[in-house]
Structure 1
Amino acid sequence: MPRPATTARRRGRRQGEPVSREAVLAAARKRFGEQGYEKTTLRAIARDAHVDPSMVLYLFGSKADLFREALNVIVDPGALAAAVAGAGDDDPDIGARMVRAYLRIWQSPESGPTMVAMLQSATSNSDAHEAFRGFMQNYVLAAVSGELGGGEQARLRALLAAGQLVGTAILRFVMKIAPLATLPDDDVVRLLAPTVTRYLTADAEELGLPEL
């Protein structure tokens, strides 16, 4: 008598919808934005995304790694790189393009409040700090410096410009210190753009860049 046909056992999830990486990132972004890094748990993120907590670890490795990836959803390094490159009818000044692109991130109702919470977390929690630093080094600086020709001097230029922008964001959007917090965008662009342009485009000797 012939043996019944057998079906090969499938590995992985056997029931329910496939786990969506995007769903976990969306839940993480919301939790980190509302509660900060320390109060957010992987279990809460998993519950919001309707997955098992072990799947969150499987997809992202750790809470710090998930925090870094959530930052990448909020701040698109490609958009900042595009601001450096410029196109079509963009403002001809590279500094003005960068400042405006950065202000849009902080003023967006979708990304602004989350950026405030995440930056506060990065300045008060060591794990969040390391995740934020990794995001800046491996995503933002890599993308922007690539548009500047690559190399260590290009990374330093990008980092100097980032120092101006991040410092402004802390004073304007996080600490909300007047008059910087209340200046119109056009004034902020006018004041910051020359410095950002100088960092990104000035001759290396004139700027005083060290040999790296």
Structure 2
Amino acid sequence: MENQQVARRSDATRATILDAARARFAADGYEKATIRAIARDAHIDPSMVMRYYGSKAGLFTAAVAIDPGLPGLSLEPREEIGRTLVRHFLTLWEENGELTALMRVGATDPAVADRMGSVLREQLIPLARLLGPEPEQAQARARAALCASAVLGLALTRYVLRFPASVALGREEIVDWLGPTVQRYLTAPTP
């Protein structure tokens, strides 16, 4: 009974820390957010944050969810999957400010970059294998990497660097331009 109460308190403390971290990272960005500020927001001692998460990067990695939900996407009609994926990614980026922070941190922190890469390994590669004309794992990895570079390149220029030309594009313009490219990467014969 006592162990269950301790576990519940521990889970509650972790959840409180993660909530405070998400809010602080979203408000201040990764660089400006501090363990002290997050601990203050969570009403706990900073040492507790370190105890549970080890470092600021560890806390960030735990606080930012990276599940694009690709396995749940409809793959029909097959000739529209590129457009469907681009729309899906646009929605993710527009509804989740944490992804912008994640992109910034992932460019400089290997642990966060590896976490981002797990999405490629766990979701995009199986999707590329399913849709590609050949069953080889190497081709699926190449196809997934090209899709990721297209989508992440757009996200970088539109949501992180905020290039005026990228920001000015409407959703359907992006879908019209990028959708066929993603479609080709996933389904075209290997060159």
Note if 1:143 corresponds to 2:114. Answer: no
Provide closer, same or farther for how the CA distance between residues 45 and 156 of structure 1 changes in structure 2, counting only shifts above 3 A.
Answer: farther
The amino acid of 1:130's aligned partner reads P
1:120 paired residue among 88, 104, 113: 104
Note if 1:105 corresponds to 2:98. Answer: no
Q: For the residues of structure 1 that align with 2:72 and 2:19, how far apart are their CA atoms?
A: 24
Return the structure number with greater helix share. 2
Q: Secondary structure at the match of 1:179?
A: helix
Q: Hey, which bits of structure 1, 4+ residues long, moved more than 4 A?
A: 10-14
Give the gaps of 5 or more residues in structure 2: 131-136
The amino acid of 1:105's aligned partner reads L
Alignment length, in residue pairs? 183
Provide closer, same or farther for how the CA distance between residues 22 and 100 of structure 1 changes in structure 2, counting only shifts above 3 A.
Answer: farther
Matched with 2:166 is 180
Provide closer, same or farther for how the CA distance between residues 147 and 118 of structure 1 changes in structure 2, counting only shifts above 3 A.
Answer: closer
Q: For the residues of structure 2 that align with 1:140 and 1:24, how far apart are their CA atoms?
A: 28
Give the gaps of 5 or more residues in structure 1: 1-7, 207-212
Matched with 1:80 is 70
Q: For the residues of structure 2 that align with 1:25 and 1:91, how far apart are their CA atoms?
A: 39
Is 1:36–1:118's contact at 8 Å kept on the other side of the alignment? no
Matched with 1:64 is 57
Offset of 1:45 from its aligned partner? Answer: 2.0
Q: For the residues of structure 2 that align with 1:47 and 1:19, how far apart are their CA atoms?
A: 18
The amino acid of 2:103's aligned partner reads L
Question: What's the RMSD between the two structures over aligned residues?
Answer: 3.0
Q: Secondary structure at the match of 2:129?
A: coil
TM-score by length of 1: 0.71
Percent identical pairs in the alignment equals 37
TM-score by length of 2: 0.78
The amino acid of 2:70's aligned partner reads L
Q: Larger radius of gyration, structure 1 or 2?
A: 1
Note if 1:95 corresponds to 2:82. Answer: yes
Is 1:36–1:121's contact at 8 Å kept on the other side of the alignment? no
| 1:94-152 deviation per Cα after TM superposition (whole angstroms, max 9, x unaligned) | 111111111112222xx13x3333433444xx3xx313311222234322212333834
